[in-house]
Amino acid sequence: MKKSQKSLLIKIIVVQCLLVLCVAAQDFDFFYFVQQWPASYCDTRRSCCYPTTGKPDEDFSIHGLWPNYENGKWPQNCDKESSLDESEFSDLISTMEKNWPSLACPSSDGLKFWSHEWLKHGTCSALNQHAYFQTALDFKTKSNLLQNLNNAGIKPRNGEHYSVESIKNAIEEGVGHTPFIE
């Protein structure tokens, strides 16, 4: 695959909203759930480091769960007094290491990345830390992008080239929401 075509799958944003969450949080209208293909992410950066837990699986990984407004803007850093408390989501850490790895250099265990996501986006979600991270993990399981692409005959590793439209259609068919591909 050409580099420009690889980088097409850097981030796939699936707009998803759990009715209960969106109704409970009057400060935003919906979530952007952002996933990325790690190899493409690494191809587009000057450097990329695998997490200290090892090379990520060949699957989409979570980049973030971002509250957004319908007007195209988004809330951020809603509680500047908040800090990440690992004990709040300790039961999720092994799953997060697998599904929400940091690819930033130097290599890390993910806590710095998760802290950034929590402070910038999670504090605006109307969720506590455990619920915020669990919701993102649940969205990943529910969306299962790799399986949806495979079901449509789109296989990232077989060297074939696919149109953006066919990728969008496969994801929309699988998750029931139109993705934005960057």
User: Could you say which of 86, 88, 97, 121 is catalytic?
Assistant: 121
User: Could you say which of 88, 117, 130, 161 is catalytic?
Assistant: 117
Helices (H) and strands (E) in the chain, counts: 8, 4
Residues 137, 62: contact at Cβ < 8 Å?
A: yes
Residues 48, 107: contact at Cβ < 8 Å?
A: no
- Supply φ then ψ for residue 66, to 5 degrees: -120, 115
The reply to whether 63 belongs to the active site is yes
Residues 15, 74: contact at Cβ < 8 Å?
A: no
The reply to whether 177 belongs to the active site is no
The reply to whether 117 belongs to the active site is yes
Residues designated as active site: 63, 117, 121
